[in-house]
Amino acid sequence: MDRTSVPCPAWLVKRLTQAGGSVSFHKFMEWSLNDPEYGAYGTGQLKIGRQGDFTTSPSLGDDFAHLLAIQLAEWFEQLEQFVDKERTLSLLDFGPGEGDLSFDLISALEEICPALLPRLELILVETNQAMVLRQKKRLAPLTTVPIRWRSFDQLAKAPVTGVMIAHEMLDALPVERLVWRDQRLWRQGVCLEKLDSESHLSFTELPLSAALLTALADARVCLDIQIPPLDAADGWCSEWHCELEPWLHQAAKALTCGPLLVIDYALEARRYYSASRPAGTLMAYRQQIASGALLQDPGQWDLTAHLCLETLQFFAERQGWTRLGEARQGQALLALGLAEKLHALQKLPSSQLSIALQRREALLRLVDPVGLGEFRWLAFELNQNPYGVEEPLGLRCRFLEDPIS
Ligand SMILES: C[S@@+](CC[C@H](N)C(=O)[O-])C[C@H]1O[C@@H](n2cnc3c(N)ncnc32)[C@H](O)[C@@H]1O
């Protein structure tokens, strides 16, 4: 057993005691991130940005959104051909964090395609109310389009037509952890321990649930993914994204027709579930520090796991989504004109030198092959259009095209 043991905060002692002394890692992650009283996002104490706990592409400046908006404008233009003229088109931002991406995308669309604005609305889907408050503040100056916050349940009752974006949101969904120990696969748990009369937290091993057994059998049979890999050493550990397929199901229920763009850290299954990755991909982030100490100060750190490309695509297709394609962020942004943006900075007057340098640094970070440039952009589409034939829309993805052409 992993002997990691750290002091347990009083709120979690209470929760774990009520739960009988131990819970799955999945439950622990859910409490740590989303508990309204103690969770890192639930209380809104995590801050995204250069001065915050971690940065994301949109938090580096508005150039990211301006490039992404080129793709969105093309998708909206194509969607206009499929739906009647009165129909509102929606931009849906899932897990909007500080609201930077939403703000900058609408501002960019105002510039790129002003004619779209009268029929456009912005919908934010955020489960943590403390984050909603921050998003409302950030988006207050945006007056050009109607803005609504909606839950999946509300959207299922009145599905919309438009473009869905999940930018660094799916990596925040709580995961199960799997441990290979004593020639057996276990579900990782988190339990209370008494050390010198103090309550500590440590990992424990629980039997696999029926849901996990079914999911792992599906992965083996349908995708040829072997968990654990054949040469895994004792103690090998990895993640399973048990909330991904239900999320894709709900996303499909929220849309009549349009694309879904997922932008996130992701790995191919052979790299994800590999013997040479013995501790999985989960990391904790706070104050710009990355840590592998997942049990440390629960509720104070962001916890995030990479996605697995094949399982994401498999779940998406099983939930009715048609795959459009996938690219690394570096390639996607170059295809959308990042090099031209970089070049244009040279033309800024010398009075704007510091702004030009900051934007240059941000643009280079967005495509850095050992940083944000490694992120994956995965696009899917759905057509449940009540106005026409349910055929694939065949949406064009400029971000997948060769940047040179
Ligand atoms: C890592 S932040 C991403 C922020 C933003 N998209 C960005 O890239 O800057 C994750 C966001 O997802 C939200 N979140 C977590 N689980 C969610 C869920 N099931 N549905 C919607 N939002 C969720 C968090 O509260 C937070 O706002």
How far apart CA 380 and CA 400 sit, in angstroms, is 12
How far apart CA 164 and CA 208 sit, in angstroms, is 34
Is pLDDT at 403 greater than 90 in this prediction?
no
Is residue 163 situated within a structural domain? yes
What six digits make up the tokens of 116?
């779209």
pLDDT (0 to 100) of residue 350: 82
Is pLDDT at 239 greater than 70 in this prediction?
yes
Is residue 220 situated within a structural domain? no
pLDDT (0 to 100) of residue 391: 77
C-alpha closest to that of 249 among 158, 177, 153: 153
pLDDT band at 348 (very low <50, low <70, confident <90, very high): confident
pLDDT (0 to 100) of residue 85: 84
Is residue 377 situated within a structural domain? yes
How many domains does the structure of the chain reveal?
A: 1
Domain around 339: 57-173+244-280+327-385
Is residue 233 situated within a structural domain? no
Residues in the chain: 405
pLDDT band at 255 (very low <50, low <70, confident <90, very high): very high
Is pLDDT at 242 greater than 70 in this prediction?
yes
**What does the angle CA 154 – CA 159 – CA 164 come to, to the nearest 5 degrees?**
95
Q: Determine whether the shortest distance from the Cβ of 64 to ligand 1 is under 6 A.
A: no
Lowest mean pLDDT among 101-110, 159-168, 365-374: 365-374
pLDDT (0 to 100) of residue 377: 98
Dihedral in degrees, nearest 10, Cα atoms 262, 268, 272, 277: -130
Mean per-residue pLDDT of the chain = 94
How far apart CA 187 and CA 206 sit, in angstroms, is 5
Of all protein residues, the one whose alpha carbon is nearest to atom 11 of ligand 1 is: 95
Phi, psi torsion values for 34, nearest 5 degrees: -115, 0
Is pLDDT at 349 greater than 90 in this prediction?
no
C-alpha closest to that of 75 among 375, 321, 338, 395: 395
Is residue 258 situated within a structural domain? yes
Q: Determine whether the shortest distance from the Cβ of 162 to ligand 1 is under 6 A.
A: no
Phi, psi torsion values for 279, nearest 5 degrees: -120, 15
pLDDT (0 to 100) of residue 352: 83
Amino acid at 176: E
How far apart CA 112 and CA 75 sit, in angstroms, is 13
Q: Determine whether the shortest distance from the Cβ of 324 to ligand 1 is under 6 A.
A: no
Where residue 66 sits, what CATH number does that domain have?
A: 3.40.50.12710
228 preceded by a cis bond (ω within 30 of 0): yes
pLDDT band at 3 (very low <50, low <70, confident <90, very high): low
pLDDT band at 171 (very low <50, low <70, confident <90, very high): very high
pLDDT band at 389 (very low <50, low <70, confident <90, very high): low
Is residue 370 situated within a structural domain? yes
pLDDT band at 2 (very low <50, low <70, confident <90, very high): low
Is residue 313 situated within a structural domain? no
Q: Are residues 217 and 266 in contact, defined by beta-carbon separation less than 8 angstroms?
A: no
Which residue pairs from 142-146 have beta carbons closer than 8 angstroms and sit at least 24 positions apart in sequence?
A: 142/103, 142/106, 142/107, 144/106, 144/110, 144/117, 145/106, 145/117, 145/120, 145/121, 146/121, 146/122
Q: Determine whether the shortest distance from the Cβ of 168 to ligand 1 is under 6 A.
A: yes
Mean pLDDT (whole number) for 217-221? 97
C-alpha closest to that of 177 among 16, 10, 2: 2
Burial 92-122 (b: 16+ CB within 10 A, else e): bbbbbbbbbbbbbbbbbbbeebeebeebbbb
C-alpha closest to that of 16 among 202, 167, 188, 154: 202
Number of C-beta neighbours around residue 181 at 10 A: 16
Q: Are residues 5 and 195 in contact, defined by beta-carbon separation less than 8 angstroms?
A: yes
Is pLDDT at 393 greater than 90 in this prediction?
no
pTM, whole model, 2 decimals?
0.96
CA atoms within 13 A on the CB side of 172: 26
Is residue 18 situated within a structural domain? no
Most confident of the following: 75-84, 182-191, 354-363, 384-393: 182-191
How far apart CA 135 and CA 149 sit, in angstroms, is 10
Mean pLDDT (whole number) for 378-385? 90
Is pLDDT at 311 greater than 90 in this prediction?
yes
pLDDT (0 to 100) of residue 401: 94
Q: Tell me: the pLDDT tens digits for 40-95?
A: 999 999 999 999 999 999 999 999 999 999 999 999 999 998 888 889 999 999 99
Of all protein residues, the one whose alpha carbon is nearest to atom 12 of ligand 1 is: 95
- List of E strands, 218-372: 237-240, 255-264, 266-267, 283-286, 289-291, 302-304, 307-308, 322-328
Mean pLDDT (whole number) for 32-39? 98
pLDDT (0 to 100) of residue 195: 80
Q: Determine whether the shortest distance from the Cβ of 280 to ligand 1 is under 6 A.
A: no
C-alpha closest to that of 21 among 227, 255, 212, 202: 202
Mutate which of 41, 138, 151 for ligand 1? The one with the most ligand atoms within 8 Å of its CB, which is 41
- List of E strands, 87-197: 89-94, 120-125, 147-149, 160-167, 176-181, 184-195
Q: Determine whether the shortest distance from the Cβ of 131 to ligand 1 is under 6 A.
A: yes
